[in-house]
């Protein structure tokens, strides 16, 4: 029943007749809420919740980052705690953050503020901006920074992004996860901002097949472009701790799942030297 409902919701999100961005956003919230609360086998839920009761990331460079319990507005609460969330782009993100030439970090579609917290955890000096159309997301982003004692006066939140907010900075980073709005975003960004910004962009091809070509064309003259694909779930089973090794295979897959409707890709666009 649960698996079937999950498939129906994923299908609805990718259905081409669902053109309204707000409707897509609301469907995603229903989908993600279902996945967080109901996808894992019922008999395993209690032990999993107990294991993660302190709500801290348990492995990797983001170890001990505190993520508020069941407050994330995404499907990936447990992958974030496991340290496996979007592991495909982690090395690229870290390379950019460790480069001190990048003095601002923008998360366009910041959701629960996970990447904002990571940016401030690694670079306390960096200016960060969280952008999301959902007021709840901005509140959650504020909260995750505060509970990790990362909140300071170099943080800005907004429902809309304005490039003038970083005009005094020479170079920076923008992570983009805006559920099919990517192409429209880049069509509206000022060229002066694009030229000084490195990008990590999640491409939602299942919403609009033209997104990849439109975004990559916009960036091809000013950036070197690398394409990274999402890994098969089997490669992430290693992130499940030995204390949970007794889980049945379905619960293990549910635990590491980021609930992607299909194999997805990111554009890693770095400023040409």
pLDDT tens readout for residues 84-117:
999 999 999 999 999 999 999 999 999 999 999 9
pLDDT band at 39 (very low <50, low <70, confident <90, very high): low
**Whether the predicted pLDDT of 257 surpasses 80:** yes
pLDDT band at 192 (very low <50, low <70, confident <90, very high): very high
Task: Please give the mean pLDDT across all residues of the chain.
Answer: 87
pLDDT band at 8 (very low <50, low <70, confident <90, very high): low
243 touches 52 (CB < 8 A): no
Beta-carbon contacts of 226 under 8 Å, excluding residues fewer than 6 positions away, are 92, 267, 268, 269, 270
pLDDT one-digit tens code per residue, 141-189: 999 999 999 999 999 999 999 999 999 999 999 999 998 999 999 999 9
Cα 171 from chain centroid?
22
* Closest among 224, 231, 238, 212 to 272, alpha carbons compared: 224
- pLDDT, position 220: 95
How far apart are alpha carbons 129 and 166 in whole angstroms?
A: 9
Q: Is 102 helix (H, G, I), strand (E, B) or coil?
A: coil
**Whether the predicted pLDDT of 78 surpasses 80:** yes
pLDDT band at 13 (very low <50, low <70, confident <90, very high): low
**Whether the predicted pLDDT of 252 surpasses 50:** yes
Helix%, strand%, coil% for the chain, nearest 5: 45, 15, 40
- pLDDT, position 16: 46
DSSP secondary structure string for all residues of 223-250: EEEEEEEPPPGGGGGGGS-GGGTTS-HH
Instruction: Indicate if the alpha-carbon torsion angle 65, 133, 95, 211 is positive or negative.
Output: positive
pTM value? 0.85
């Amino acid at each position: 029943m649960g698996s079937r409902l999950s498939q129906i919701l994923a299908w609805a999100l990718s259905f081409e007749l669902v053109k309204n961005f707000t409707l897509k956003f609301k469907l995603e919230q229903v989908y993600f809420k279902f996945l967080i609360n109901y996808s894992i086998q019922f008999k395993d839920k209690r032990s999993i919740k107990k294991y993660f009761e302190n709500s801290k990331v348990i492995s990797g460079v983001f170890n001990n980052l505190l993520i508020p319990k069941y407050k994330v507005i995404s499907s990936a609460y447990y992958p974030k705690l496991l340290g496996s969330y979007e592991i495909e782009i982690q090395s690229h993100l870290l390379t950019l953050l460790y480069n001190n030439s990048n003095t601002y970090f923008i998360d366009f579609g910041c959701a629960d503020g996970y990447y904002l917290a990571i940016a401030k955890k690694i670079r306390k000096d960096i200016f960060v901006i969280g952008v999301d159309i959902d007021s709840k997301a901005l509140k959650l982003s504020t909260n995750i920074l505060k509970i990790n004692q990362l909140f300071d006066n170099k943080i800005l939140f907004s429902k809309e992004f304005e490039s003038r907010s970083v005009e005094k900075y020479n170079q920076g980073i923008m992570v983009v996860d805006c559920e099919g709005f990517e192409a429209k975003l880049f069509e509206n960004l000022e060229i002066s901002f694009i030229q000084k910004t490195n990008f990590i962009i999640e491409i939602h091809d299942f919403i609009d097949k033209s997104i990849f070509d439109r975004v990559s064309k916009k960036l091809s003259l000013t950036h070197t472009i690398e394409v990274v694909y999402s890994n098969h779930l089997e490669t992430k089973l290693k992130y499940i701790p030995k204390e949970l090794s007794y889980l049945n295979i379905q619960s293990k897959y549910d635990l590491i799942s980021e609930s992607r409707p299909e194999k997805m890709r990111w554009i890693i666009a770095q400023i040409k030297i």
